[in-house]
Amino acid sequence: MRPVSVSTRGWTLEDILARSDNFCAVPSKNVEHLAADEIQILIRDFEESGIPLLMQNWHKRPGWNPNLFSPSWLYDEEGDSSPSIYPICSSFQV
């Protein structure tokens, strides 16, 4: 039996999205220089539409805490706990 060759040659993101009901393109918006009220309107509009929004450069806005989401911040928030693992087929916690 001859092996089947699989290739992504010729694929585009647009073609993949058009062939699936499970995925959609997610728009992005640079929010680095937007005023707080502009961001609130942007969030509200996307929440009402149900379409996700990727907000770029939030970490470059004034007042961003550079330690947020750092390893030390995560440790302070979560401690030395191990994550719980749940098998998909049951509610038994490992």
- Please tell me which residue, 81 or 79, carries the higher pLDDT value: 79
- pLDDT class for 94, splitting at 50, 70, 90? very low
Return the structure tokens found at 61.
């806005």
Q: At a CB cut-off of 8 Å and minimum separation 6, what does 61 contact?
A: 31, 32
What mean pLDDT do residues 66-71 have? 86
DSSP letter, residue 51: -
The per-residue pLDDT for 69 is: 81
Cβ neighbours, 10 Å, residue 53:
16
**Per-residue pLDDT tens for 8-65?**
888 888 888 888 888 888 899 999 999 999 999 999 998 988 888 999 999 999 999 9
